[in-house]
Structure formats: C-alpha cells, structure tokens
Amino acid sequence: MNGNGMIGDPLTRVDGPLKVAGRAPYAAEFDVPGVAYGVMVRSTIPGGTIASIDSRVARRMPGVLLVMTHENAPRLPAKGRAAVKPPAGREMSLLQDAAVRYNGEPVAVVVAATLEQATDAAARLDIKYRAADAVLDFDQAKKDPKPAKMQRGPAEKKWGDAQSALERADVKVDAVYTTPMEHHNPMEPHGTIAEWKGSELTLYDATQYVSGARETVAKTLGIPPEKVRVVCPYVGGGFGCKGSAWSHVTLAAMAARKAGRPVKLVLERPQMYGPVGGRPQTEQHIVLGAMRDGRIVALRHEVLSHTSVFEDFTEPSTQPTRALYACPNGETVQKLAKMNVGTPTFQRAPGEATGTFAIESAIDELAYALGMDPLELRLRNHADVEPSSGKPWSSKKLRECYEDGARRFGWSRRSARPGSMRDGRWLVGWGVATATYPAHRMEAKAVAIMNADGTFTVRSGTQDLGTGTYTICSQIAAETLGVPVQKVRFELGDTRFPKAPVSGGSMTAASVGPAVRAACLALKERIDAGGKAPLQAEGSARPPAEEEEKKTHAERSFGALFGEVRVDPELGILRVPRVVATYSVGRILNAKTAASQFQGGIVWGLGMALMEESVLDKRTGRIVNANLAEYHVPVNADIGSIEVAWVDENDTGFNDIGARGIGEIGITGVAGMVANAVFHATGKRVRSLPITLDKLL
Amino acid sequence: MRSFEYTSARSIDEALAGIGPDAKFLAGGTNLVDLMKGDVEKPARLVDINGLPLADIAATPAGGVRIGAMVRNSDCASHPLIRERYPLLSQALLAGASPQLRNMASTGGNLMQRTRCYYFYDTAFDRCNKRVPGSGCAALEGYNRIHAILGASSQCVATHPSDMAVALAALDAMIELLGRGGTRRIPATQFHRLPGDTPQLDTNIEPDELIVAVELPPNGFAQRSHYLKVRDRASYAFALVSVAAALEMDGNTVRTARIALGGVAHKPWRAMEAESALVGRRLDATAIERAADASVAGAKPLHDNAFKVALAKRSVARALEVAGGAA
C-alpha cells in the first residue's frame, strides 16, 4: 500500500527508486573533474610522539602528488582547535604536531592520481615513534575517575533522599552492569571530496549536519563560513558517527589546497574504529530499594564511561533513570575514565541504549526479589510526572503501550519461574523492558516555492540519513499546501538551503517538520492572497524553550518491549525468535518509514544484546576486530519476527505537528529485554553485554 | 594494497610455468585479496587460474567422487553426487561464509585460506611469527578468545577457519597436487600443518604446486553424519567450534566413526582417539561422553578461550547424537 501521501500514510519512500537504481549520488560518488585520491595513514602506537616519517620512497612512486604529515601540513589557527564545539566541532587530528594520542590516530595523508597509487604509497611510509605511557585498560582508568559533563542536564542529579530511603526499603537490588565499546558501522563509510575554486571550498561530505560541517571546517581553516559549501543529498547511515566533522573532512580540504587538485578521501572500514567515534564502554552501578508492595522508594545509578585523553565525551546513561519510574528518592551521577583511544561519540540512542540495559535489568532483578511479575512491577511504578523534576509530561501513553504489547505478545501465558518453559531441547524465556528516549527539537528553517508549472519545491538544509526525511517532509508539505504529494519536491543536504539542525537526537522530523509546515503555510497565505508563480515563502520553527530548566513540561517518548529467547543449555546458543513492541512517540508521520525505524532500531538492539563489541588490545591500544568479519552485527538469520505498533497520540504540546521523533527509541530497552528473557529461560543473570554463548555455558 | 602484476593462465601448464617466488595463484580471491588489501600478503604477481578446466565434479570408478579444484563452494554444496554420497561435506560448505562468498570461493582456494587471528590480519601489530618469523606471537598474551586449544605452539595459536576442510578431514579426502615434478596425492588430514616452529607455513603444499582436485573415497557415512557449527551469530561467522561427525552402524553398534573439529586448532583436528572410543560400542550416553572427552584430550586453553574446551566436548556429543539419530 502506498497511501495518498497525507501525513501518517505509509507512503513508500520518495527516494527509493533512485537508490535501488544506483542513481542517488552519495558524497564520495560525485563526479568532480580532476579529482585525486587521498588515503589516511594512522598511528600504530597508543601514545607518544612521531620521531620521524621517511616518505622518500612514497613520494617517488608513480602518481603520488602529496605526502602530508605534521612536518609539511598547513599551520592552522589555534593549532587546529578553533572550532571545537560539539556536536559538529571535535578535537581533531590535523597534523599540527608530532603528538600521538591513540593507536589508529591519523598521522599522514597520501594523495595520488589513483586510489591504487595512493594506497600503495601509503603503505610505504616509514614512521618511527617515541612511545610514551598510555592508559589502555578501562579497569586501570576507572581508578582515577574524572568529572563528567553531559550535553543535557547536570552530571550529578539528586532528588529526595535516596540514602535514608534505601535504609527503610524492604527489598534491595545492588548490581553492576557493563556495556562494551562499540562502533557504528554504517554501510556507507565516511567520505569527503574537497574542491577549491579560488578561495571557495565545496565539500561533498557524508554528514548528518551540513551546516555544522561548514562551520567547523571554515573556522578550523580560518576562512569565512560563507566561503564553504557542504553538499550531502544522501547518507548511507549515520547513527551518530557522522554528526561531527571529524579529522578526515578538514584533512581533505587541507590536502586539496596543498595538492592544487580536488581530493577525495574515503575511510577504509578499519579506519572507522577510532577516528570517527564509537559507543563508550560503561560500568553502571545500580542500587534499588523497594517496599513489599513493589513501590520503588530509592534508586541510585552511578555511571562510569570511557573517553579519550584529549576530549571529554560523556555517555549519559543515567538519563533514562531520571525519567522512567516514579521513585521519590534518586541519586544519579556520571564520571569519566580517560584512556588513550579515539574519542567516543553519540551512538544511536546515546545514554538510553546503554542506560536502559542497566536500569531495565535491575528492575527485572527487583521483580524476582519481590516475587512479582516484572510487567506488574513496572505498572506499579509508572511515572505520571517526570520523577526527577516533578514536571508533567507533554504527552505520555506508556500504560497503553504495556497493555497493547502484553496482549499482542501473550504475556499473561508466561510461567513465572525461571527455566520453567521449554520447547524440546530449547529453554524458552520471555522478557519485558521499557523503551524510552527524550524528545528533542531545535530551530529549523525551510523555504517553499510554487513553480510556474504548478509543482512545488520545498527546501531545508537538513539531512536524510536513510530514515525517510525526504518522504515525511514531502508529506507534511503536501498536506499543508493541500496538494497531492506527487506535486511536491523536497530538497535537502546543501548549505545553500535554509539552515536546519544536526540530524541527531531523533530531532529531524520534530524540528524540520514544523519549519516545512510554517514555510508552506506562509506560501499558502500568499497564494490565497492572489500571488502568482513563481512565488516563495520562508518559514521557521523553534521550540519555546531550549534549556531543560525553562521547559514547562517533560518531553519524552516511551515504549513497551516483549520478547522471547531460546537457549540451548548445553551449547549456550541464544536465539531471539520474537519481539513485540508498542511505542508512544506522538504522531506518526509515515506508517511505513516509522515501522522501519522501530524495526531497524530493534535489530540493532539485538546486535547490542547478542554480539557487538569492539575489543581493545590492552598492550597496544589497537582494536583487534576492526572489520566486519570480526566485529559482528546481526545478519538476517539472527532476526526472527519483529512486530511493532504504536498508540494513537498527537503531542501538540511538543510541536505543532504533534510528532516527537523516532530515530533512536527502537534500540532502547532491547538489550535489557533480552537479558531479562535469558534469565527467565535459564536462571542466569548476565550483567555484561554482549550475551555471547560463553556466558551461558 | 600494493601494485602487482596480473596474468591469466589459459592452461594448467601455463599456470605452473607462471608460478614462482613472489607469485600466487588467484582463484576466488575471497581470502587472498582481503589479505592483500590489509598488506599482509604482498605478491608481486598473481596468476589467475579461474579459466582452468578444473571445475567438474565426477564419480570415480572406485565409487567415490572427484571434485575439481576450481569447483565453487556453492556448486559443490548443491551437486547431487555430493548431497547424496557426502551430505556432511554439503552441510559443512553451506555453514561457511555467505552465499556471495560461496559463489566465488573455490575448493582449492578454501583449502588455501590462511589461519584466523586478529594479530595476523593487522600489520600494525609488529609481533606475528606468521607474518614476520621470529617476531613473536601477539595473540599468546593478547585477546585470544577465538584461538586454538589443541595442537598450538608457543609460536602460534591461530585457528584454521575452514568448514569444508573439517568435513574433508573427517571423510578421508585426498588432495591431488600437480607440480613441475608431476602429480602427488596427500591425505586431507596431512595437508594442513600444526604451527610448531614454522607457523608461517599453513600447509604442506610446495610453492610451485597447484591443487587440481580433491578426491573422496567411497564410504558408508551418508546416512549418519552431521556437521555442527557453533558461532557468535547465526550465519556468516567463523566457527568458535565446529564438528564433523560421521558414523557407520551395525544395528546399535558403531562400526566406524569419524570425528573432526574446526575452530580449535591450526588445522582441521581429526579426533582419532575419540573415534576409537566409539568403535565396537553401543552409541549410548556413556560412549558418547567418553568420545567427547577423548576429543579434547590434551587441550590447553588460553586466557580467553577456556570455554572452548567444554564447548568442543559438548559439540562433539551433540554432533554424534544427531548423526546417530538420537537427537
């Protein structure tokens, strides 16, 4: 079913035919005449300095145009640190000095006429290092925890009096949960083509944030932002790792200027494990106190997450704990463990993906300690207001989610005792968890144009990560203008278009959607006033308050997850044949792309639960499994039935299209649900992700 | 990847004439090309053998089957003669890699794939006796969850990644090699090597020899065999442990047994003692348990792979149960 294209209809993605035909150009596919090929060379020690780089052999090789190292790289303002301002601007490796801060850090760029020549020459650099001590073991780093700073909210948040409430509690759970270092692995690797025309720079860049990349590269190079254009019509997956303009983007621009030719720099898959972020490792200590009737009276959640030695990034795993359950006394605190690794970053559902594993496992443990059904325990502690702030929700229908999910899954048929459900050789376990992700939006702008041929063009400098932005913005425009969706062409991914925020934090639909609506309303007004084509109108939308403290309501999405696992008790093999989920996320803009977002998120959640882990060699700081053969993500055979649904909701208190954004909530809660189901199947509580078979033997 | 010269052989003679130091045969390329991209293999010349007339599967007069070295893994797995006479091999092939890789990978190339080890595949690790003999083994004290528990040495603890080769070891296959000096045949069980003091050598093939065929002798295992692969995801992952088990029975009594393991050693690990423990006995829980124990006799786990000992034992037991029809 294709739908007629109004908001909510399951319209097939408008960019789909281009993509399946291979006619949707991704950043590295733009045909730029005279382009040369850059290859990034990376350090092989975790800390110290470069003693020497002998590039004589490389420079003499056929086709080689440039070997750029810290010895000859252009000197940048503030040593390349002029634009450090997350999410776009990060601490980069721009060849400004001889320092090496992690294994795999960019230390040179080789440019040649062909990719083959550049790759060959890159392997011939002879680099000598002076090694220094490096911190490569999380357990060592955590002995000296550093204060953290969260993107949103304080790193330490307390409400009520958790300590005395814990002392009064009838039942306690006190456990430590860990999640490993992970990496995003979008299908499309990071890539940039940099082309200078005089003082003007065009970047074709795989990015979640065209205007952020422009600001970052311009400031870093010390040129005006209006001299930089960033183009990115399609993204082959971002998941957070393309939200920042990492080193290779600026390095491509530097190399292109120095080589006097456009330069294309695409990262190789192993180069995506370090220089472009990843999910931080976490250690999460949770203490829960409850009364016999199941009321949770105290909770404590202490999170330690790793970051690099040169930039602080905090994985905000305590975020969900501050919002999930109606507990009057809470203490949540975040700290950092600094290591000689690449700086981690936002990874799909930053905070919630890792945090919900811990809190949802702990809630399950509490349910068993109380002898209570884990769904019943969640219902008894439903948060009618945000517990840590006391603010009312803009809209929340979690109770309906629990009810709908439980009914569709058949939860009432669950036998409570662990190990009590079997199917032949297989132990069967059923688990439940709550999904959640905050609702974010930021200011966005758009322009709507009525063309002479009766069609409409709507533009915004936003991005489509493969999620469906083209499609839903076309639907919003069509409905607002009162025309069929086929009459609307939506364009994005260009800094020449009106500015939009980073496509991160699940906020594109919630931010750009209202801007598209505003532009179309303004255009409609002009049309109604008798305006003739070509006619255009601009529109913008922004939230009433951006700072948490100024908001009158708490804004957050929720969901209920139910799943079945099967465990082969002798071989430890774990399968997840069935997941049922129901979400409360505000208004659904497109039933088809929404279902894809939820399902895709759940698939990744299963990957996180079962297999994903980047393993750091503790002696060299090198990630040993930095490729898709050894870093496992789920394949089709790992995925069974995933049935997603949502409750009818329209959160007009959040924005005028009533939608809260759904890019990230799908992954949340899944790992906790799986761990809970594994306990139900086997009686084994696995508190350390991923749940590989050796943990079940 | 470094620059290299490429030639395509139009005949076996041309292929043999083209090979030499710094040259490699190129078949499906599913492993060699990866290694070249990683700068691990640096051949100056590739001799493409995809055009050679070695892609047939035929019955032998003795009642066995001869598989040409250039038969693709997917073709071999689905060939009626293989499915009928050697379902164990078909299962093992289908447990390997992905459909796309199996469509490219050849029988000879599968045998020639290098051992699995993180530290071998990334040249940023300066210690690897396989890449740089004498440099040491980074895996020994490193992260070694996927490494060997049997037959390893202080020089190397890598594991052989092939599924096909595990089935061939169990099925007493012969590998036919052709060199300038003529043809020779070696048993599959002796084709791959243990690391010893020369871990740089994965196999006993001479540098100027070409695998031309794999020959399977007739056997009575077709009704009772099973390939079990245990891995970190449901498909497209190397084995943590795999087991090829095959039985010939006289009623409830085992007449002949074949057991080989993958993912546990530098080569497909034929568990002869486990086989002997079964012969002449009823295939009951006790006999299976005894065989399973024997299959991991002498296991020496490393820091991160102790689980493999129990897993290997239980996998042998499970594979025997399934092969014997008990599960």
In this chain, the answer to whether the domains covering A32-133+187-237+242-272 and A156-182+278-439+550-695 adopt an identical fold is yes
The answer to the question of residue B311 being in a domain is yes
A431: left (phi over 0), alpha (psi -120 to 50) or beta: beta
Q: Which of B320, B196, B211, B202 is nearest to B261 (CA)?
A: B320
Distance from CA of A692 to the nearest CA of B (A): 7
A 411-450 near B (Cβ less than 8 A) = 425
CATH of domain A16-25+442-542: 3.30.365.10
Token pair, residue B112, equals 């020639």
B3 to A116: CB separation less than 8 angstroms, yes or no: yes
Q: Which of A257, A249, A196 is nearest to A73 (CA)?
A: A257
* Residue B46 φ/ψ, nearest 5 degrees: -115, 135
CATH of the domain at B25: 3.30.43.10
Is the distance from CB of B8 to CB of B51 less than 8 angstroms? yes
Of B118, B124, B143, the CB nearest to A44: B124
Residue A546 has pLDDT above 90, yes or no: no
Question: What are the per-10-residue average pLDDT scores of chain B (327 residues)?
Answer: 95 95 96 96 97 98 97 98 98 97 98 98 97 98 98 98 98 97 96 98 96 98 97 97 97 96 98 97 96 98 98 98 85
| Residue at A578: amino acid letter | R
B122 to A626: CB separation less than 8 angstroms, yes or no: yes
Is the distance from CB of B275 to CB of B196 less than 8 angstroms? no
Cα–Cα distance measured from residue A35 to residue A112, given in angstroms and rounded to the nearest whole number: 10
A615 to B307: CB separation less than 8 angstroms, yes or no: no
Residue A2 has pLDDT above 50, yes or no: no
Of B143, B236, B317, the CB nearest to A615: B143
Residue of A617, A625, A692 best to disrupt the B interface, most CBs of B under 10 A: A617
The answer to the question of residue B214 being in a domain is no
Beta bridge partners of A668: none
User: Considering B50, B69, B84, which residue would you say is the last residue of a domain?
Assistant: B50
Of A123, A624, A697, the CB nearest to B143: A624
**Counted domains in chain B:** 2
A632 to B237: CB separation less than 8 angstroms, yes or no: yes
Is the distance from CB of B243 to CB of B315 less than 8 angstroms? yes
Is the distance from CB of A585 to CB of A649 less than 8 angstroms? yes
| A115 and chain B in contact, CB less than 8 A | no
DSSP string, B270-318: E-HHHHHHHTTSB-SHHHHHHHHHHHTTT----TT-THHHHHHHHHHHH
Q: Which of A639, A652, A649 is nearest to A583 (CA)?
A: A649
Neighbours of A451 (CB within 10 A): 14
Q: Please give the pLDDT value at position A550.
A: 86
Q: Taking CA atoms, what residue in A is nearest to B37?
A: A119
Of B138, B234, B327, the CB nearest to A635: B234
Q: Please give the pLDDT value at position A1.
A: 37
A571 to B234: CB separation less than 8 angstroms, yes or no: no
Q: Taking CA atoms, what residue in A is nearest to B39?
A: A123
Its domain, for residue B37, covers 5-50
The model's pTM is: 0.97
Cα–Cα distance measured from residue B93 to residue B78, given in angstroms and rounded to the nearest whole number: 9
User: Considering B34, B50, B66, which residue would you say is the last residue of a domain?
Assistant: B50
DSSP string, A349-414: STTHHHHHHHHHHHHHHHHHHHT--HHHHHHHTB-SB-TTT-PBBS---HHHHHHHHHHHHTGGG-
Q: Do strands A228-231 and A200-205 pair parallel, antiparallel, or not at all (unpaired)? A: parallel
Please compute the mean of the pLDDT values over residues A688-697 and round it to a whole number.
Answer: 98
Q: Which of A545, A553, A689, A521 is nearest to A611 (CA)?
A: A689
| A60 and chain B in contact, CB less than 8 A | no
B234 to A694: CB separation less than 8 angstroms, yes or no: no
Of B138, B233, B317, the CB nearest to A635: B233
Distance from CA of A39 to the nearest CA of B (A): 12
CB contact set of A223 (below 8 Å; sequence gap of 6+):
A199, A201
Average pLDDT, chain B: 97
Q: What is the dihedral of CA A665, A671, A675, A678, to 10 degrees?
A: 100
Residue A3 has pLDDT above 90, yes or no: no
Cα–Cα distance measured from residue A609 to residue A604, given in angstroms and rounded to the nearest whole number: 8
B1 to A120: CB separation less than 8 angstroms, yes or no: yes
Cα–Cα distance measured from residue A9 to residue A2, given in angstroms and rounded to the nearest whole number: 8
Q: What is the DSSP letter of B115?
A: P
Q: Please give the pLDDT value at position B327.
A: 56
The runs of H, that is alpha helices, within chain B are 12-18, 32-37, 73-78, 80-85, 87-95, 99-104, 107-112, 118-121, 164-170, 188-191, 272-278, 285-295, 307-324
In degrees, rounded to 5, the angle at the alpha carbon of residue A186 between the alpha carbons of residues A184 and A187 is: 150
A403 is catalytic: no
Residues in B lying within 8 Å of A, measured between beta carbons: 1-3, 34, 39, 98, 118-119, 121-122, 124-126, 138, 141-143, 145, 230, 232-238, 240, 307, 310-311, 314-315, 317-318, 327
| A611 and chain B in contact, CB less than 8 A | yes
| A630 and chain B in contact, CB less than 8 A | yes
CB contact set of B268 (below 8 Å; sequence gap of 6+):
B160, B162, B165, B166, B168, B169, B188, B189, B192, B260, B261, B262
Beta bridge partners of B215: B66, B174
DSSP string, A440-501: ----EEEEEEE-TTS-EEEE-B----SSSHHHHHHHHHHHHHTS-GGGEEEE-SBTTSPB--
A128 class by beta-carbon count within 10 Å (0-12 exposed, 13-18 middle, 19+ buried): exposed
Neighbours of B89 (CB within 10 A): 29
pLDDT tens for each residue of A9-67: 999 999 999 999 999 999 999 999 999 999 999 999 999 999 999 999 999 999 999 99
Of B119, B138, B314, the CB nearest to A570: B314
Cα–Cα distance measured from residue B47 to residue B17, given in angstroms and rounded to the nearest whole number: 10
B307 to A694: CB separation less than 8 angstroms, yes or no: yes
| A688 and chain B in contact, CB less than 8 A | no
Cα–Cα distance measured from residue B263 to residue B273, given in angstroms and rounded to the nearest whole number: 19
B142 to A624: CB separation less than 8 angstroms, yes or no: yes
A426: left (phi over 0), alpha (psi -120 to 50) or beta: beta
A116 to B1: CB separation less than 8 angstroms, yes or no: yes
* Chains A, B: CB pairs < 8 Å: 88
pLDDT tens for each residue of A117-163: 999 999 999 999 999 999 999 999 999 999 999 988 899 999 999 99
The answer to the question of residue B236 being in a domain is yes
Cα–Cα distance measured from residue A589 to residue A470, given in angstroms and rounded to the nearest whole number: 12
What is the SS3 assignment for B36?
helix
Distance from CA of A345 to the nearest CA of B (A): 24
Of A44, A617, A630, the CB nearest to B142: A617
Q: Starting at the edge strand that comes first in sequence, how are the strands of the sheet with A641-646 ordered?
A: A421-423, A426-438, A556-567, A574-584, A641-646
Q: What is the dihedral of CA A75, A242, A44, A307, to 10 degrees?
A: 100
A692 to B39: CB separation less than 8 angstroms, yes or no: no
**What CATH number does domain A156-182+278-439+550-695 carry, 3.30.40.10, 3.30.365.10, 3.30.390.50, 3.40.50.10860?**
3.30.365.10
- With contacts defined as CB-CB under 8 Å, which chain A residues touch B236? 635, 637
The answer to the question of residue B273 being in a domain is yes
Element (H, E) at A153: none
Banded model confidence at residue A547, pLDDT cuts 50, 70, 90: confident
- With contacts defined as CB-CB under 8 Å, which chain B residues touch A44? 124, 126
Is the distance from CB of B120 to CB of B128 less than 8 angstroms? yes
pLDDT tens for each residue of A224-271: 999 999 999 999 999 999 999 999 999 999 999 999 999 999 999 999
Is the CATH number of domain A32-133+187-237+242-272 3.20.20.70? Answer: no
Is the distance from CB of A212 to CB of A88 less than 8 angstroms? yes
Beta bridge partners of B321: none
Helix, strand, coil content of chain A in percent (nearest 5):
30, 30, 45
* Residue B121 φ/ψ, nearest 5 degrees: -80, -15
Beta strands in A160-267, from DSSP E residues, in sequence order: 171-179, 191-197, 200-205, 228-231, 263-266
A103 to B39: CB separation less than 8 angstroms, yes or no: no
Is the distance from CB of B155 to CB of B104 less than 8 angstroms? no
- The interface predicted TM-score of the complex, written ipTM, equals 0.96
The answer to the question of residue B191 being in a domain is no
| A610 and chain B in contact, CB less than 8 A | yes
B311 to A116: CB separation less than 8 angstroms, yes or no: no
Please compute the mean of the pLDDT values over residues A160-174 and round it to a whole number.
Answer: 97
Token pair, residue B311, equals 């897993």
CATH of the domain at B231: 3.30.390.50
- With contacts defined as CB-CB under 8 Å, which chain B residues touch A626? 122
Distance from CA of B247 to the nearest CA of A (A): 22
Q: Starting at the edge strand that comes first in sequence, how are the strands of the sheet with A228-231 ordered?
A: A64-69, A106-112, A36-42, A263-266, A191-197, A200-205, A228-231
A632 to B141: CB separation less than 8 angstroms, yes or no: no
The answer to the question of residue B247 being in a domain is yes
Distance from CA of A126 to the nearest CA of B (A): 12
Average pLDDT, chain A: 97
| A120 and chain B in contact, CB less than 8 A | yes
Query: Of these residues, A105, A331, A491, A664, which one is catalytic?
Result: A664
Beta bridge partners of B246: B225, B258
Q: How far is CA A398 from CA A365, A382, A586, B256, in A?
A: 21, 8, 11, 62
The runs of H, that is alpha helices, within B96-212 are 99-104, 107-112, 118-121, 164-170, 188-191
Token pair, residue A363, equals 């809630």
The answer to the question of residue B65 being in a domain is no
Q: What residue segments make up the domains of chain A, in order of their start? A: 16-25+442-542, 32-133+187-237+242-272, 156-182+278-439+550-695
Q: Please give the pLDDT value at position A4.
A: 67
B311 to A694: CB separation less than 8 angstroms, yes or no: yes
Q: Taking CA atoms, what residue in B is nearest to A42?
A: B124
- With contacts defined as CB-CB under 8 Å, which chain B residues touch A116? 1, 3
